[in-house]
A and B are shown apart, each in its own frame.
Chain A
Amino acid sequence: MSNDALRLRPPNHRVDRRAVGWWTTQALSVTVVLTVIPVVPALIWEPVRFWFLVAAGVLGGIGLLITAVMPRWRYRVHRWEITDTAVYTSSGWLWQEWRVAPMSRIQTVDTARGPLQRAFGLASVTVTTASAAGPIEISGLDHELATEVADQLTDSTEAVPGDAT
């Protein structure tokens, strides 16, 4: 518990403000689906109606709570930064994750836009290294900024020789 020692500083840039809306929509749609599943049998099957409605209520309640809390929390945590030498991101809400990858070890850079992200004008940048630990993802960027970031990353990784392993 040596809290007086080293600490990670948050990366410089926040993600786009619209990401809050995106996360809210996402959480809300999952909540709605999960709530509807027990409601259907409750409507057609009389004897167990009460218990299914209770289940629906509990699921809906938890879902709404998450929908209310999670997007804002995420917005406070999700950050990213690209320096000349490395990519640095933080993400998560209850469980949080910080990732650092040096420019010289980056293998591929992709941008992706799901239909929901597109509706909010957002995009994600995925940075892959040779590690099995999974790619680094910066989600919820403004889509033009995402393209710019990806281009910049591609340029700087191409400048570094080696096979990135």
Chain B
Amino acid sequence: MTSHDDHRPEELPTNTPHPETDPTTAEPTAPEQDVPTGADEAGDDWLGLSSLSVWANTAIVALFMVPSAIVATVVLVVVDQPLWALLPLPATGAFIALMTYLDMLRLRAVRYRVTADRMEMRSGIIAKAYRSIPRERVRSVDVAAPIYVRVFGLCTVTVGTGEKVGAGADQLKLEFVTAEQGERLRRELLRRSGTAGVSETSAEGEDGSVDEDGVELARLNPRWFAYAPATTATFGIGLGVIAALVGANAQSGGHGWQWISDRAGLPGGQQMADFVMSQLLLVVPLFLLGLLLSGVVILLLAALETWWDYRLTRESDGTVRLRRGLLTSVSLSVEGRRLNGVVLHEPFVLRSVRGASIQAVATGLEGGDDKKTSAKSRLSPAMPRSRARTLGAALMRQERSPLDVPLAAHPRAALRRRFTRATFVTLAGVALAGGLAWLHMVATESWWEVARTIEENVIPIPLVVESVEATPGWGWFALAIVLGVLAFWYAVGSYRGLGHGLHPKYLVLRKGMGVRDTVTLERSAVIGWRITRSPFQRRLGLADVSATTAAGAGMYSALDVGLGQGLAWADEAVPELLAPFLERPEGAEATEGSRPAPLP
């Protein structure tokens, strides 16, 4: 989801407008003046934002401020301050009027146009800003319409380029234009005139309608929402809800609980605790169930909001278009040429129920960091894995799906490295357990008393300290052993997750245990190699071989691959690049892990 409010042009005008030297456009406050009716194909005249956008902003400000003003008035009347009570509403009104006026000035100053080879935007009255993006640099067009904007028939258009000049400098944002204008911009900006290789059937000329959708790659299946709760966050979010309730209760000094129990005729806290302790076996599962349920509900709602009305299409010019969203409807278009691959994204919990989702590896979808990039690149909700694989294959338009390429395993030494790490984790766990067991032993009756008091103040139903006190000292070591087993299981899993392979057009990489990502990256999109070796890797003959690219996360790595194996793979993936820098000591055959099939 894109944020839509935080990118206002900074130079809010604070003065009366200059006589703008814009002879072409009339006053934008005149209603419907701004809807272009196909007259700008010559690309000469500047367009303004929709005049309605002022009202959208006013409405949202009013929606938040008027109710609070009314509440303030009522409160002041109640506390018998009638004179003061006259203040909030007019003040709010004046404030909103001022905001509206300023917004109107901003709106009047913003002008944009799309010419044959550039998109230009002017803004600001005092500090004038002019920005211009060559159209060939436009990589993605993001059309978003949060609900309060959508009721006015408006939308936000964000034009992304692949530049990495600095945060925020790589995009151009229009807030807001009419929905038709947004749709037109989306189509126009990604339509190249001189691009070879893209079959341009200009079926949609001037129709401006949304009917011509191209090939549908995926459409929401409501059953997929069943995968939504399958995340590690289920537990975390549930825990967060409970903790928040408990925290609120503790903040009010337990009054909240008292209040509820008084109303509902529930027994008091002490009786409750006694009752609970006697039924511990019942309460713990119930508590966990509550945890799980609240998590499930929240995740379902989030998935519903994000993925409602999900559709993924490829339009006639190769542009891939994503549409989704319930309250904020989002339309994201990525130029087909810039979609350099896909990621099959399988977090552990989702993977264990045979689900997966698809993300794009595309230029122009970068967020500030890897996490934002990954969020921006999502092309599908969690869906059955087989469906996700089909979708990935359809996106790459290959006869034989790169996701089906058999992957070469990494050397056993990679497993040994993971075992070493697991051993360290286990040792740390045992050491910690020893320390805790020792503390457990020296802790006296009075200490337990203190701990219990603390817990009683924090949680309405104290459980933890009691059960800890009751556990014998060796319980800590049992926990350490469980941790050790988990660590080694994780090590084996992450070794099994490692893999690399080659498709005639794509290179394929897989890694991860907690989150397993299978990345396909077009071989022609590789813009360099980076090989790193730690002292341990040098000893074991391993290396991390990474392909650098302009798309997606910028770098995709084959971790702990055998040096010879990895270099052979890299050399084969991009033939002319690495070859001059390789040497074959005694002309030995490279360990061939990945055999690309003959070209289809």
Contacts and interface: CB of A to CB of B under 8 A. Distances in A.
B342 interface: no
A104 B590 CA distance: 28
A6 B528 contact: no
A136 B531 CA distance: 12
B122 to A, nearest CB: 25
Nearest to A96: B533
Nearest to A92: B532
A132 B164 contact: yes
Nearest to A86: B577
Interface stretch (A7-15, A52-60, A141-149, A151-159): A7-15
Contact of B530 (A7, A85, A97): A97
A97 B528 CA distance: 13
A133 B530 contact: yes
B480 interface: no
A2 B564 contact: yes
Contacts of A98: 529-532
A27 interface: no
B578 A100 contact: yes
B534 interface: yes
Contacts of B359: none
B563 interface: yes
Contacts of A131: 527-528, 548-550, 554-555
A130 B366 CA distance: 12
A132 B571 CA distance: 22
B540 interface: yes
A94 interface: yes
B584 A6 contact: yes
Given A1-B413, A2-B564, A130 B136 contact: no
Nearest to B413: A1
Contact of A11 (B136, B411, B581): B581
B528 A129 contact: yes
Contacts of B541: 1-3
B363 A85 contact: no
Interface string B568-600: 100100001110111111101111000000000
A4 B530 contact: no
Interface string B524-557: 0001111111110010110000101110011100
B528 A105 contact: yes
Interface string B148-182: 00000000000000101000000000000000000
Contacts of A9: 581-583
Given A3-B564, A6-B567, A8-B582, A99 B550 contact: no
Contacts of B530: 97-100, 133
A1 B411 contact: yes
Interface in A52-88: 81, 83, 85-86, 88
B590 A5 contact: yes
Given A2-B591, A9-B583, A95-B532, A129 B548 contact: yes
B565 interface: yes
A2 B586 CA distance: 13
B546 to A, nearest CB: 7
Contact of B531 (A85, A86, A97): A97
Given A6-B564, A8-B567, A96-B538, 12 more contacts: A1-B411, A2-B541, A5-B584, A6-B563, A9-B581, A85-B576, A86-B580, A92-B532, A97-B532, A100-B577, A100-B578, A133-B546
29 contacts: A1-B413, A2-B563, A4-B586, A5-B564, A5-B584, A7-B564, A7-B582, A7-B585, A8-B563, A9-B581, A81-B581, A85-B580, A97-B530, A99-B529, A99-B530, A100-B528, A100-B578, A102-B527, A102-B577, A105-B527, A129-B548, A130-B162, A131-B555, A132-B366, A133-B528, A133-B548, A163-B137, A164-B527, A165-B363
Interface of B: 136-137, 162, 164, 363, 366, 411, 413, 527-535, 538, 540-541, 546, 548-550, 553-555, 562-565, 567-568, 571, 576-578, 580-586, 588-591
